[in-house]
Amino acid sequence: MTLSSKTLSSKLSDPRLFRQYAYVDGKWTHGEGGREEAVFDPATGEALGHIPWLEAHQITAAVDAAEAAFVHWRALRADERCERLLAWYDLLQAHREDLATLMTLEQGKPLPDARGEVEYGASFVRWFAEEGKRTFGETIPSHIPNAALGTIKEPVGIAALITPWNFPLAMITRKAAAAMAAGCTVIVKPAGETPFSALALAELAERAGIPAGVFNVVLGEPAEVSKILCAEDRVKALSFTGSTRVGRLLLEQCANTVKRVSLELGGNAPFIVGPDMDPKEAAFAAVAAKFQTAGQDCLAADRILVHESIHDAFVEHFAERMAALTVGNGLESEVDLGPLIHRQAVEKAAAIVDDAISKGATLVAGDQSQAPGENFFMPVLLTGVTHDMKIWHEESFAPVAGITAYADDDQVIEMANDTEYGLAAYLYTHDIRRIWKVLRALEFGMVSVNSVKMTGPPVPFGGVKHSGLGREGGVTGIDEYLETKYYCLGALGSVSGS
Ligand code: NAD
């Protein structure tokens, strides 16, 4: 089935936000080899439109454009770059509704969640617009006679940004705004499933007066495009958000050109509930932490670890809350969970559930015959989840919740850390000694205590172990795009009075 491009445009108050071209050097670009890919609405299976796949020389042309633009962009004063980024921020806000509609159509998440992502994504643009004015160097007390020592911060150069489909807008702005505020130019390679949010960002960047070549969006066969960007010596930084599998591949591919590499990879978050917790309060929080974006979230509560003394009550409240979740097309009102991104994701979720049941887990709820379409997966609750099951080790990236009972703090710490991932962990308890002990022992880049919400522009987002390298957001997020230049000004003579 095909939803004509006209139909999609008619859903937007500003149809020019829907673009079916790449964006290179300030120009809307078609693929010279004639290759193109359809983009589907995961809720209906309808084709929303098509994107071109660029040829290798067109990716190189994007690097040429970013290289030429870098000369002028880096030479602007920080407050001049700030003004342009703030203009971009204002446009993102002004077009929030259209951006959210585009996102729901290509990604599937419910419209209120999509609005929230636009807000969240835009907030990074505002944060880094300001942060670019504070990339201070240092003055170093000299150990060399008659010398002045210090550091200045300089933009690394061209940054390649490769992003996933689950947060099609915010994963771009979190990188691009930091890089551009630092004075870098960027080449974005969005996920093929969700290119239209990236292209709408490009349209708005152009309207905001971001010069040609500063923000480019390339499209194409993922492995081909990434190989070119990683091998390009002129690309000085690679920032990737996506799976650990692809992250490892890109890290290897960047070795020859010794690039700056930042990786935001998979997660397998434990959600720990202490014995002192009200089981209802904790269960409701766990439902919120598990089912956001239909479970397709690197922060999703993948392993819910509940103290044995409140386990049964917790399961009851969790099941009750889960039963109230509605599943459907994200454009409809009152929908909590949209579709999964494609059919393979549904098949993977089903396999993970089957594997757990075959190894002894109990299926408390989750009837797939109720699914409203082929890409939908009804929320599932499993209890008795153990270490030998796939759901323990793999990101399900689906609305599948697994609960395990534990006996004491030492055991739950061991269970929580029993994963190659180390992105985020949740801890629910009001016992301050337990909080401190568990918080310190958890091998994760982020620990959220008694709060589902943990992210935002002022905080350093990122993981340890196989969840990645580097941090995004916060006062250090911009450092990923800056070099430190040390200077020594010698033979200055002595300064009288000093
Ligand atoms: P993915 O790794 O399949 O794809 C991410 C990007 O890499 C896409 O642009 C894709 O086109 C590209 N890509 C895919 N295969 C490639 C290849 N062989 N060579 C080069 N590039 C390739 O990930 P996904 O399925 O789009 O996203 C889900 C993953 O992202 C999950 O693992 C999730 O945890 C992770 N994620 C992490 C964060 C974080 O901040 N840590 C945030 C969101 C998502």
Share of the chain above pLDDT 90, in %: 97
* 461 domain residue, yes or no: no
Any domain includes 492: no
pLDDT score at 211? 98
CATH number of the domain that residue 321 is part of: 3.40.309.10
pLDDT of residue 6: 72
pLDDT of residue 294: 98
Distance CA 292, CA 226 (A): 29
User: pLDDT > 70: what percent of the chain?
Assistant: 98
Whole-model pTM? Answer: 0.97
- Are 166 and 219 within one domain? yes
Rounded Cα gap, residues 234 and 67, in angstroms = 8
For ligand 1, atom 43: residue with the closest CA: 298
Contact of 432 with 406, CB cutoff 8 Å = no
| 202 alpha-carbon distance from chain centroid | 18
Residue appearing with tokens 């008619």: 10
Q: Measuring from atom 19 of ligand 1, which residue has the nearest CA?
A: 223
Beta partners for 327? Answer: 337
Atom of ligand 1 nearest to the CA of 247: 2
Q: Is the CB of 293 under 6 A from ligand 1?
A: no
Exposed e or buried b for every residue in 272-294, given b needs 16+ CB within 10 A?
bbbbebebbebbbbbbebbbbbb
Q: Which residues are catalytic?
A: 264, 298
Please identify, by atom number, the ligand 1 atom nearest to the C-alpha of residue 191.
9
Q: With respect to residue 496, please indicate whether it lies within any of the assigned structural domains.
A: no
Helix, strand, coil % (nearest 5) of the chain?
A: 40, 20, 35
The per-residue pLDDT for range 186-198, each reduced to its tens digit, is: 999 999 999 999 9
Instruction: Please identify, by atom number, the ligand 1 atom nearest to the C-alpha of residue 245.
Output: 2
The CB-based long-range contact list for 110-114 (8 Å cut-off, 24+ gap) reads 110/330, 110/335, 110/336, 110/337, 110/338, 111/330, 111/331, 111/333, 113/292, 113/293, 113/330, 114/330
The best mutation among 124, 166, 254, 455 to test binding of ligand 1, ranked by most ligand atoms within 8 Å of the C-beta, falls on: 166
Task: Check residue 478 and give its pLDDT.
Answer: 98
Output the CA angle 110-189-18, nearest 5 degrees. Answer: 50
Name the residue with tokens 């993970």.
352
Under 8 Å between Cβ of 428 and 417: no
CA 222 – ligand 1 centroid, Å: 10
Same domain? For 248 and 294 the reply is no
Q: Tell me, what's the pLDDT at 498?
A: 46
188 lines ligand 1 (CB under 6 A): no
| pLDDT tens digits, 216-245 | 999 999 999 999 999 999 999 999 999 999
Residue 265 CB less than 6 A away from ligand 1:
yes
Q: Are strands 36-40 and 47-52 parallel, antiparallel or unpaired?
A: antiparallel
* Per-residue pLDDT at 496: 64
Q: Is 189 in the pocket of ligand 1 (CB under 6 A)?
A: yes
Note the pLDDT tens digit of each residue in 297-312.
Answer: 999 999 999 999 999 9
Confidence of residue 8 (pLDDT cuts 50, 70, 90): confident
**Pocket lining: 288 vs ligand 1, CB cutoff 6 Å:** no
Report CA Rg, the chain: 24
- The range of the structural domain enclosing residue 356 comes to 269-420+424-449
Asked if residue 210 belongs to a domain, the reply is yes
Q: Is the CB of 163 under 6 A from ligand 1?
A: yes
Regarding the beta carbon of 241 and ligand 1, being less than 6 Å apart is answered yes
Say how far apart CA 352 and CA 390 lie, in whole Å.
6
CA 243 to ligand 1 centroid distance, Å? 4
pLDDT tens-place string over residues 14-37: 999 999 999 999 999 999 999 999
pLDDT bracket for residue 376 (50, 70, 90):
very high
What confidence tier does 5 reach under pLDDT thresholds 50, 70, 90? low
List alpha helices for 261-386, DSSP H. 279-291, 311-323, 343-358
Amino acid 59: pLDDT: 98
CA 72 to chain centre: 29
Instruction: Examine the domain organization and report whether 140 and 125 are in the same domain.
Output: yes
Q: Are 196 and 218 in a shared domain?
A: yes
Q: Buried (b) or exposed (e) across 70-79, using 16+ Cβ within 10 A?
A: beebeebebe
- Note the pLDDT of residue 462: 98
Strands 260-264 and 468-469 come out as: antiparallel
Q: Is the beta carbon of 373 within 6 A of some atom in ligand 1?
A: no
CA distance 489 to 491: 7
398 and 312 part of one domain: yes
Evaluate: CB of 166 within 6 angstroms of ligand 1. yes
* Pair 17, 55: CB distance under 8 Å: no
Within a domain: 406: yes
**The total number of structural domains that make up the chain:** 2
How much distance in Å is there from the Cα of 103 to the middle of ligand 1?
17
Tell me which DSSP letter residue 388 carries. Answer: T
Residues 281 and 416 in one domain: yes
Residue 494 lies in a domain: no
Which residues are within 8 A (CB) of 391 and not within 5 positions of it... i.e. 6 or more apart?
A: 302, 303, 352, 353, 355, 356, 361, 382, 385, 400, 402
Q: Do 234 and 276 sit in the same domain of this protein? A: no
Q: Quick check: helix, strand or coil at residue 188?
A: strand
Distance 310 CA to ligand 1 centre (A): 37
From the CB of 262, is ligand 1 less than 6 Å away? Answer: no
Q: What is the mean pLDDT of the chain?
A: 97
pLDDT tens digits for 431-474? 999 999 999 999 999 999 999 999 999 999 999 999 999 999 99
Domain presence at residue 164: yes
Q: Kindly report the three-state secondary structure assignment for every residue of 212-258.
A: CCCEEECCCCHHHHHHHHHHCCCEEEEEEECCHHHHHHHHHHCCCCC
Is the predicted pLDDT of residue 366 greater than 70, yes or no? yes
Residue-wise burial string across 177-193, b where 16 or more C-beta atoms lie within 10 A, e elsewhere: bbbbbbbbbbbbbbbbb
Residue 159 within any structural domain of the chain: yes
Q: Is the pLDDT of residue 67 over 70?
A: yes
Expressed in angstroms and rounded, the spacing between residue 141 Cα and the centre of ligand 1 is: 45
What local confidence, expressed as pLDDT, does residue 7 receive?
76
Question: Do 176 and 280 belong together in one domain?
Answer: no
| Whole-number pLDDT of residue 303 | 98
Q: How far is the CA of 338 from the centre of ligand 1 (A)?
A: 20
* Same-domain pairing of 242 and 146: yes
In sequence order, what DSSP letters do the residues of 67-131 get, joined into one string?
A: HHHHHHHHHS-HHHHHHHHHHHHHHHHHTHHHHHHHHHHHH---HHHHHHHHHHHHHHHHHHHHH
Q: How far is the CA of 265 from the centre of ligand 1 (A)?
A: 7
